[in-house]
């Protein structure tokens, strides 16, 4: 797994999210590996069909609006990689970890876990926060 | 990675958490691989030293109390595995995903992401929720 490629896959994920591109979102999710999706406040979803359905419901909710990732960083673990980023949604900031794997020659997502960030980095450092 | 072994490592993690066993918690975190820890509401921590320090601070806070994992499920991806579970803390329910890797012959944690679960499964199904 290559860090640049996985960051591009993460960008594709947020582009599909922001543009409610259901076909791209569906294609991004792995079919052969166990998958896991935790939307803010939701119970965990671990069935592929339930995850795809959750995106359909989210895309049908016109209040969602644009989702902008900030400060995405990739951590590569051999054949898998995790991207950590902040998500800006309607002025709120969430923190997300997205894990990807290569499947059928494509980089596909196996984990998405987004949660509220009550203690975000200051706005001016969103693109390069000094958090630790 | 074996599902039973990783579930045991997850149990060790929560035992150390509940009993404020700093030595065990410190030993559980990987040193050779990138690590990631997202406590509820905190900004993401990606430096090993910052993560260990966060546990020291959490263990110093006497209000934390016991943390009981419920319905832990392991998803194995070759040499890595993710455990998803609910965490019961002071009557509140969080959802967590914990990812483990083998390092120096031990199963060590590389990711911990816990977040509030506003829509948990009903209490009677906590040990076997039908979420999807």
Q: Say whether B75 and A120 touch across the interface (CB within 8 A).
A: no
Secondary structure of residue B14 in the 3-state scheme: helix
Across A61-65, B68-72, B125-129, least confident range: B125-129
Report residue B16's pLDDT band, with 50, 70 and 90 as the boundaries: very high
Give yes or no for residue A69 having a pLDDT over 90: yes
**ipTM of this complex prediction, to 2 decimal places:** 0.86
Task: Classify strands A80-89 and A67-77 as parallel, antiparallel or unpaired.
Answer: antiparallel
Q: Closest Cα to residue B43, out of A110, A65, A125? A: A125
Is the Cβ of A24 closer than 8 Å to some Cβ of chain B? Answer: no
- Quote the mean pLDDT of chain B: 89
Whether the model pTM is above 0.95:
no
Both structure tokens of B24: 């065990």
Is the Cβ of A122 closer than 8 Å to some Cβ of chain B? Answer: no
Give the pLDDT of residue A120. 67
Q: Are B84 and B72 in contact (CB under 8 A)?
A: yes
Task: Please list, in sequence order, all residues whose beta carbon lies within 8 angstroms of the beta carbon of residue A110, skipping any fewer than 6 positions away.
Answer: A29, A30, A33, A34, A35, A36, A80, A99, A100, A101, B77
Q: Min CA distance, A30 vs chain B (Å)?
A: 12
For residue A123, the tally of other CB atoms under 10 A from its CB is: 11
Sign, Cα dihedral of A44, A46, A50, A51 = positive
Residue B129 burial (10 A CB sphere; 0-12, 13-18, 19+): middle
Secondary structure of residue B23 in the 3-state scheme: helix
Give yes or no for residue A6 having a pLDDT over 90: yes
Is the Cβ of B123 closer than 8 Å to some Cβ of chain A? Answer: no
Q: Are B80 and B101 in contact (CB under 8 A)?
A: yes
Q: Which CATH architecture has domain A3-117?
A: Roll (3.10)
Q: Are B70 and B85 in contact (CB under 8 A)?
A: yes
Give yes or no for residue A64 having a pLDDT over 70: yes
Give yes or no for residue B88 having a pLDDT over 70: yes
Give yes or no for residue A131 having a pLDDT over 90: no
Q: Which residue has the tokens 């898998």?
A: A80
Give yes or no for residue B129 having a pLDDT over 80: no
Q: Are B64 and B58 in contact (CB under 8 A)?
A: yes
Q: Using an 8 Å CB-CB cutoff, list chain A residues near B118.
A: 40-42
Residues 67-86 of A with CB under 8 A from B: 73, 75-80, 82, 84, 86
- Average pLDDT score over residue span B58-68: 86
């Amino acid at each position: 797994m290559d860090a640049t490629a996985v960051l591009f896959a993460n960008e594709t994920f947020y582009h599909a999210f922001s543009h409610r591109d259901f076909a791209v979102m569906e294609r991004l999710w792995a079919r052969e590996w166990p998958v896991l999706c935790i939307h803010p406040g939701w119970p965990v979803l671990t069935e592929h069909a339930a995850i795809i359905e959750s995106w359909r419901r989210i895309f049908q909710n016109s209040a969602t609006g644009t989702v902008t990732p900030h400060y995405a960083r990739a951590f590569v673990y051999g054949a898998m990689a995790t991207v950590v980023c902040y998500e800006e949604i309607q002025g709120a900031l969430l923190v997300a970890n997205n894990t990807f794997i290569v499947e059928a020659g494509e980089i596909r997502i196996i984990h998405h876990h987004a949660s509220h960030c009550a203690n975000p980095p200051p706005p001016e450092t969103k693109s390069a926060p000094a958090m630790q």
